[in-house]
Amino acid sequence: MANLDEKICIIGGGPAGLSAAMYLEKKGYKNYVIYEKLNKVGGKCYSPLIKVKHNGVEEEKSFETGAIMGAITYHAVSEMEEFGGYYHKGPDFKPGEPNMRREFRKTTGEVDHPFEPKVNFSFKKLSGLLKLKKQMKKLNKLMQTKYVGYDCYGHLGIAKGEYYGISKGVDGYCGATKENSFPNYIKGTNPNLKDLALPFAEFCKINGVEEVQRIWIAPFTSFGYGFFDEIPAALVMKYLDVTTALEFVNMKLWTWQDGTQQIYEHVNKKLMHPAILETEVVKVERPDGKVIVTVKGKDGKQKKEEFDKLIVTTPLDYFAKYADATKEEAELFSKIIHERYCDYIATFEEGKSPVISGYLVENMVPEKLGHAMVYYNRWQYLENDCPCTVYALANHTGTPDVDYDVVMKTMDEDMKKVGFPIKEKLYAQEVYYCPHVSSKDYADGWYDKLEALQGNKNTFYAGEIISFGDMEDTCAASKDLINRFF
């Protein structure tokens, strides 16, 4: 029987922490605290307001430094929207709304049309596209048959050929029915699922669908989630399950007028106990069934507080630095790898900014590490007056990392070559991004080992590592955690 009076500490006021609080409240828990080290909630959903001038008129607009988009498969995020009373725009955007239109460009600046057979027609292009279409169909079928069970949140059992989790399926889409759609749990045995531990490129090869990487690469690699020769297929297919991938292809995406940060600001305002800001958890001790948390407030003073349970939504690879991590925790968490994703918001020389977002697919390969892969023009009606966000990855297994300063300079040069010379950077950052484990550790049952630790020392783990580094997977991981353990 759940004890609804338990005192629970949540570390982190990002999507994972706030959704954990929301789902706790929905279950009747009232006694929780969220500690957030920054002066705002939302974590990597940070949407600063920036002044822009268009046709002589100055106005303030939201820009994105982190999360931008969602899709019909964003069920847990929809529950956050409902709770906070703040909703997405799209997939059909009206004038004055941010939109998700984009084009492809070569790194020389030339507009490319890789998926339009009639533009720059050649028989080679046509046959390539026909092959791609056939393989897309094949993959869709394989995921519904050979890999049944792949599309639930999280990775429980996959390394053993089993699956268990909340379904991501959308009733009526890609073979899903009411029974095997969100928010139902799906469960079963399917030895083929072990293939999902393979790097995505290898997974495609053994299934004879190598061409589909051309579709998946733009929304995956350019969004900082890593390269297909190293990232386990499970991560790719759980984020970009066939329904979500098709929504990307068909441009049926969502975005938020005042930015994704506002989803979490709105939720935070409605919570019984909004996050305590500018308060960093600096120590966690767990003697004799207790959880003692030390926090440092904005006055720099430290304070100790005792809790019954702890929910950690922050990077687990750093947990051992401030917590009394057990040998098992320390060992397991040391296997976590993360991406180094860099981005900046910049203005452009007069009349030379992109008027639409763009993918630079040639730069989405490890050989082009540190190069601009995508740029995002959020307010396309501002035409040449719109600042854009530009993105690059700085790491790849087996390749030396690229220094932050070099990445920044390389992106500037790339944008100039494409025809969009940067004038001024308004914001720039490197982000701890997409924590995951290697194919080897995945196949070795890393996620089942993590599951075995859930609840030990009254500690529970949530956040990006559980399923995937996007808003939906992190919020759904919190939902699942609260459903199963509280």
Ligand X SMILES: Cc1cc2nc3c(=O)[nH]c(=O)nc-3n(C[C@H](O)[C@H](O)[C@H](O)COP(=O)(O)OP(=O)(O)OC[C@H]3O[C@@H](n4cnc5c(N)ncnc54)[C@H](O)[C@@H]3O)c2cc1C
Contact between 329 and ligand X (CB under 6 A)? no
Given the complex with ligand X, which of 50 and 443 has the nearer CB atom? 50
- Binding segment toward ligand X, per CB under 6 A, in 129-137, 154-162, 303-311, 461-469: 461-469
Give min distance, CB of 71 to ligand X, in A.
9
Contact between 196 and ligand X (CB under 6 A)? no
Q: DSSP of 328-344, one letter per residue?
A: HHHHHHTT-EEEEEEEE
Contact between 226 and ligand X (CB under 6 A)? no
Judged by CB under 6 A, the residue of 469, 479, 480, 486 near ligand X is 469
Q: Which long-range contacts (CB under 8 A, 24 or more apart) does 321-327 make?
A: 322/281, 322/282, 322/283, 322/284, 323/283, 323/284, 323/285, 323/286, 324/284, 324/285, 324/286, 326/456, 326/457
Judged by CB under 6 A, the residue of 162, 202, 278, 280 near ligand X is 280
Give min distance, CB of 322 to ligand X, in A.
7
Whole-number Å distance between alpha carbons of 318 and 291: 18
Cβ atoms of 153 and 238 closer than 8 Å:
yes
Given the complex with ligand X, which of 195 and 247 has the nearer CB atom? 247
Give min distance, CB of 36 to ligand X, in A.
5
34-93 binders of ligand X (CB under 6 A): 35-38, 43-45, 66-70
Sign of CA dihedral 253, 255, 257, 263: positive
Give min distance, CB of 431 to ligand X, in A.
4
Q: What residues contact 190, with CB distance under 8 A and at least 6 apart?
A: 147, 148, 149, 161, 162, 163
Judged by CB under 6 A, the residue of 431, 437, 476, 482 near ligand X is 431
Whole-number Å distance between alpha carbons of 214 and 361: 9
Owner of token pair 């890609």: 174
Give min distance, CB of 69 to ligand X, in A.
4
Given the complex with ligand X, which of 135 and 313 has the nearer CB atom? 313
Q: What residues contact 134, with CB distance under 8 A and at least 6 apart?
A: none
- Binding segment toward ligand X, per CB under 6 A, in 11-19, 115-123, 161-169, 453-461: 11-19
Contact between 464 and ligand X (CB under 6 A)? yes
Give min distance, CB of 406 to ligand X, in A.
19
Q: Please give, one letter per residue, the 3-state secondary structure of 208-265.
A: CCHHHHHHHHHHHCCCCCCCCCCCEHHHHHHHCCHHHHHHHHCCCCEECCCCCHHHHH
Give min distance, CB of 315 to ligand X, in A.
7
Given the complex with ligand X, which of 34 and 209 has the nearer CB atom? 34
Chain mean position to CA 93: 23
Give min distance, CB of 318 to ligand X, in A.
7
Residue 299 has phi, psi (to 5 degrees) of -80, 0
Contact between 278 and ligand X (CB under 6 A)? no
Q: What residues contact 380, with CB distance under 8 A and at least 6 apart?
A: 99, 101, 355, 356, 357, 386
Contact between 471 and ligand X (CB under 6 A)? yes
What is the length of the chain? 486
Contact between 472 and ligand X (CB under 6 A)? yes
- Binding segment toward ligand X, per CB under 6 A, in 14-22, 141-149, 187-195, 283-291: 14-22
Q: What residues contact 182, with CB distance under 8 A and at least 6 apart?
A: 73, 75, 166, 167, 168, 169, 170
Cβ atoms of 159 and 229 closer than 8 Å:
no
Judged by CB under 6 A, the residue of 32, 163, 341, 420 near ligand X is 341
Give min distance, CB of 122 to ligand X, in A.
34
Helix (H) or strand (E) holding 119: none
Give min distance, CB of 436 to ligand X, in A.
12
Largest CA distance in the chain: 71
Pairing of strands 32-35, 388-393: unpaired
Whole-number Å distance between alpha carbons of 3 and 192: 40
Contact between 12 and ligand X (CB under 6 A)? yes
- Binding segment toward ligand X, per CB under 6 A, in 8-16, 109-117, 153-161, 167-175: 8-16
Contact between 98 and ligand X (CB under 6 A)? no
Given the complex with ligand X, which of 221 and 314 has the nearer CB atom? 314
Residues in contact with ligand X, counted by CB under 6 A, come to a total of 35
Contact between 343 and ligand X (CB under 6 A)? yes
131-190 binders of ligand X (CB under 6 A): none
Cβ atoms of 407 and 394 closer than 8 Å:
yes
Give min distance, CB of 126 to ligand X, in A.
32
Given the complex with ligand X, which of 93 and 204 has the nearer CB atom? 93
Given the complex with ligand X, which of 10 and 382 has the nearer CB atom? 10
- Residue among 435, 350, 341, 349 nearest 390 (CA): 341
Q: Which residues bind to ligand X, rule: CB under 6 A? A: 11-17, 35-38, 43-45, 66-70, 223, 280-281, 313-314, 341, 343, 431, 433, 463-464, 469-472, 474
